Structure 1
Amino acid sequence: MSVADKLTSRLPMIGDRGERKDVVAVVKLHGVITPTPSPLARGSINLAAVESALTRAFGHERLKAVALQINSPGGAPTQSGLVAERIRQLADEKNVPVLAFAEDVAASGGYWLACAADEIYAHRTSMVGSIGVISGGFGFTGLLERFGIERRLHTAGANKSRLDPFSPEKPEDVEWLKKMHGQLHELFVDWVTERRGDRLSGSEDLFTGDVWLGARAVELGLIDGVGSLRQVITERYPDAEIAIAEPKKPLLARLGIGAPAAASALLDAVQSKAAWSRFGL
């Protein structure tokens, strides 16, 4: 056989490239939902962090579905809404179904994200729900008095210093915060009702901020079934391959540069731990 014949024999024939499989793209949404990610925290979710992963997932050729792998105790309501709306926008543009899978927890903002999917599944031990609003902080007035520190705060506007942690708490500030919580809660309830529709059971406990394990969440209509990502995807799309859509990392992050100041990073880590601890994690 001549050299030319040998080279020709190694070239693929037209139509001999093998069948290309369909794809189910997986996006991991793991961590606390916050606009300020920290390398010391247990992961974080915000639109800037997940945008590249979402566009990669929905940009696959031969895309059959997108799966959201969710493990989040919640966090910032605005970021929850922004990420969920972006998922719906891409799903509508590509006309592909979205399936959400809860791992340890899909609660509060984590459940808000799950509702961006057309169907929601969870493990039988997953904690799901927490449809409510929470905020917390610290009061340092006693600490200042103990060390003889004088607080100096100057504002223009009577309500500019609401809930200042170094000033005594005012009843009118607490009442204002409760009203804000009530408005956010209504928006959360509206979103869940819009996305889950008639699948919700109508139970009075649905919107109390409580959480439930997988089987009970099915009964309440918060999820569509109990099952893991690979189990459901394999049954639903047996001929498709699963492709993880990883987000692009900033250059400084790839080089291990750009960590925040130690004090700020420690505070972020404590707040992240507190968010997970509400669910025993």
Structure 2
Amino acid sequence: MTSQDDLPGAGPAPRSESPAYAVPTGRLDSVLERFARDYMKDRRSERRWRVFFRIIWMLLLFVFVWSLIAVRDAKVPTGPHTALIEVRGEIAVDSEASAELLLIALKTAFEDKGAQAIVLRINSPGGSPVQAGIVYDEIQRLKGLHKKKVYAVVEEMCASGAYYIAVAADEIYTDKASIVGSIGVLMDGFGFTDAMARLGIERRLLTAGENKAMADPFSPLSEQHKAYIQAMLDQIHQQFIRTVKEGRGDRLKQSPDTFSGLFWSGEQAVALGLADKFGNLDFVAREVVKAEEVIDYTPQENIAERLVKRFGASIGAGAVRALQGIGGLR
């Protein structure tokens, strides 16, 4: 049999010059072009986002640095004016109404020659008797040193430690519906001994000093410890009472309920001599101080401090307080 190769004039069978999987040249160019275009697009987008975030970080850095060097309580008095100091929220070491911040404001206001008088605008349920006592004593000292009047203006509430501060004022103004009073001291907490007994939980507490674990919420409160704590509360209560009598003097219409821890409406407070008259900040500045321009001397937190507190410091402080024990004196 004769094969094709044996036929006269027949050459070898033609072979393909390119492999079977090869991409046509035109299609390859299109793929490469699309890839290059998408790559450049991604690079431009990435570059834009990088520039954007750099600008944001630079702005944040600028704000942070500016807030650190900015004067916290810068005031530019323009003449005779009424100096305002806010007493807001809980009176405590790390609060806006801490003695540290209030003393800064008080000293600045008293030393300013343009300040005709100081107005404490109060909206507080009270707090630490120590912090309140420090502020009270400083107001009395500065009043004697600079011979300036101090007025307290009650907004929603002036109770407990806030009222302790208010009685340092020459006059107390309130709204008819404000809450005033609560002249008392308390220490609160919880006891878990019965719950532990029901759950079969054993309390293991070792101390050096027989009274070191006094008021521990996981241990029974002995009568001896209870009597000791009560005596301490009574002593602090008497300090509070003396301060109120000293501050209010003959204006106070004392009754069995005056120092019982009760609180009253502003209308009742005026009738009982716990407050003097009805009025707000504008009224006192205009009609009493006779300096209608009001300048706020309350120290303000800068942006950096606010961010730190918001994103961790306050949470950490709360956790520490929870671990240290339940309860507090106020």
TM-score of Structure 1 vs Structure 2, range by shorter chain: 0.7 to 0.9
Aligned to 1:227: 279
User: 1:83-139 deviations in whole A, cap 9, x for unaligned?
Assistant: 111122222222100000111111111100101111111111111111111110122
The structure whose Rg is larger is: 2
Aligned to 1:26: 84
Instruction: Give the Cα separation in 1 of the matches to 2:315 and 2:275.
Output: 40
For residue 218 of structure 1, the aligned residue among 270, 282, 292 is 270
Conserved in 2, the CA contact under 8 Å of 1:53 and 1:248?
Answer: no
Change (3 A) 1:267 1:89: same
Aligned to 1:86: 138
**Cα distance, 1:267 vs. partner?**
8.8
Change (3 A) 1:261 1:77: closer
**Cα distance, 1:52 vs. partner?**
2.2
Aligned to 1:201: 253
Conserved in 1, the CA contact under 8 Å of 2:116 and 2:291?
Answer: no
Structure 2 portions without partners, runs of 5+: 1-77
For residue 241 of structure 1, the aligned residue among 265, 279, 293 is 293
**Cα distance, 1:25 vs. partner?**
0.3
User: 1:18-75 deviations in whole A, cap 9, x for unaligned?
Assistant: xx531110000111112243xxxxxx42212323222222232322100001111111
User: 1:203-257 deviations in whole A, cap 9, x for unaligned?
Assistant: 2221111111111111111111111111122112344411011215368415535
Instruction: Give the Cα separation in 1 of the matches to 2:169 and 2:254.
Output: 20
Conserved in 1, the CA contact under 8 Å of 2:180 and 2:265?
Answer: yes
Structure 1 portions without partners, runs of 5+: 1-19, 38-43, 276-281
Change (3 A) 1:265 1:238: same
Instruction: Give the Cα separation in 2 of the matches to 1:231 and 1:191.
Output: 27
Instruction: Give the Cα separation in 1 of the matches to 2:314 and 2:179.
Output: 34
Conserved in 2, the CA contact under 8 Å of 1:69 and 1:103?
Answer: yes
Letter in 2 for 1:259: G
How high is the TM-score relative to the length of structure 1? 0.79
Change (3 A) 1:255 1:151: same
Q: Name segments (4+ residues, structure 1) moved above 4 Å.
A: 142-149, 266-269
User: 1:131-158 deviations in whole A, cap 9, x for unaligned?
Assistant: 1111101223345456655433222222
> Which protein has greater RCO, CA pairs closer than 8 Å, 6+ apart?
1
Letter in 1 for 2:227: E
Letter in 1 for 2:242: D
Letter in 2 for 1:73: P
Change (3 A) 1:264 1:127: same
Aligned to 1:14: none
Letter in 2 for 1:95: K
Conserved in 2, the CA contact under 8 Å of 1:70 and 1:103?
Answer: yes
**Cα distance, 1:181 vs. partner?**
1.2
Aligned to 1:160: 212
Conserved in 1, the CA contact under 8 Å of 2:159 and 2:180?
Answer: yes
Change (3 A) 1:214 1:23: same
Instruction: Give the Cα separation in 2 of the matches to 1:267 and 1:75.
Output: 19
Letter in 1 for 2:192: F
Conserved in 2, the CA contact under 8 Å of 1:51 and 1:247?
Answer: no
Give the helix-richer structure, 1 or 2: 2
Instruction: Give the Cα separation in 1 of the matches to 2:246 and 2:142.
Output: 18
State yes or no: 1:115 paired with 2:167.
Answer: yes
How high is the TM-score relative to the length of structure 2? 0.68
For residue 100 of structure 1, the aligned residue among 141, 145, 152 is 152
What's the secondary structure of 1:183's corresponding residue?
Answer: helix
Identity of aligned residues (%): 39
